[in-house]
Amino acid sequence: MSRNCVFTQVFVNLQKMKGTLNSTHLNSFRTLRISSVISNDINNEVPSNTSHQQYDMFYPGHISTSLFQKSLLAAGSGIACLLNPARDDMLCALGETTGPLALKYIHSKMMSDSVGRQILEEKPVINTTTINLEKLGSLPDGTFGKEYWTFLKTNGFSPDARRPVNFIDDAELMYVMLRYRQCHDLVHTLLGMPPNMLGEVAVKWFEAIQTRLPMCISAALFGPIRLGPKHRRKYFDIYLPWAIRSAYNSKFLMNVYFEKHWEQDITEFRQELNLEPAPVPLIKTGKNTKTK
């Protein structure tokens, strides 16, 4: 896919959301009709006979962008995420365009740890080619691998659904972002939180404290706005204090080689990580979320 197509698609997606917004939101969105500006800017900067070479300058799939272009992407994707947090394409664009400093911090933390260095050297990826989901499903109940398999099956998720990285201008930091992205469901599993609004906000607080990623910080701060009164009370009384406490006390999870712990008892694994599971676990029932 060309750079022009990718940028155009990002902002076309924003425009498609107009039908669900009121007139005030529509007026705001009119100020973000900038896809043609970005496309023209790229055309002026990169000669057509070198576009393919530039595309793969750092890694396959990389899209070269200027600071100005990244700023436009960050603004547009940020607004889209506030309006519809389910837009994973917008979340990914926001995370990549605002995350380099935090990714350098994560990378330094990984380099200072023996397991973290091993992960950076071997660069494992998590998808259906590298892990055997059928085998995970056959593991005994209570093992980390079986709990992860249950999480995926219950929510209809697949490890293959995680998007590739495009806008990070460093191959090493690109892998750090990819690793964070692919481990997100594993963090959900360890914390015992479902992928609904309350669960996502709690997990984002945990990730924000551990990774310092601006995307996680923004989601943690603004996500509670979308909670209903009942869940908002539970969030402030139970889940927010727990998420903050657990994030500070537990091992830095980006230094965990999760794939080597599939057969380990999840309670034992949590104890090794000094990870405190949710004090009142959430269970998902249809469209509703209840506390046990």
Binding residues: 184-185, 188, 200
CA distance linking residue 15 with residue 218, whole number of Å? 22
DSSP structural state of residue 7 = H
Phi/psi at 291 (5° precision): -95, 145
- The residue type found at 243 is A
Instruction: Return the number of other C-beta atoms located less than 10 Å from residue 254's C-beta.
Output: 22
CA distance linking residue 235 with residue 231, whole number of Å? 6
Q: Where is the binding site for Zn(2+), in residues?
A: 184-185, 188, 200
DSSP assignment of 44-108: HHS-GGGHHHHHTSSSTT-----HHHHHHHHHHHHHHHHH-TT-HHHHHHHHHHH-HHHHHHHHH
Query: What value does the CA radius of gyration of the chain take, rounded to a whole number of Å?
Result: 20
Instruction: Return the number of other C-beta atoms located less than 10 Å from residue 259's C-beta.
Output: 15
Cβ(254)–Cβ(116) below 8 Å: yes
Residue 132 C-beta-side C-alpha neighbours within 13 Å: 8
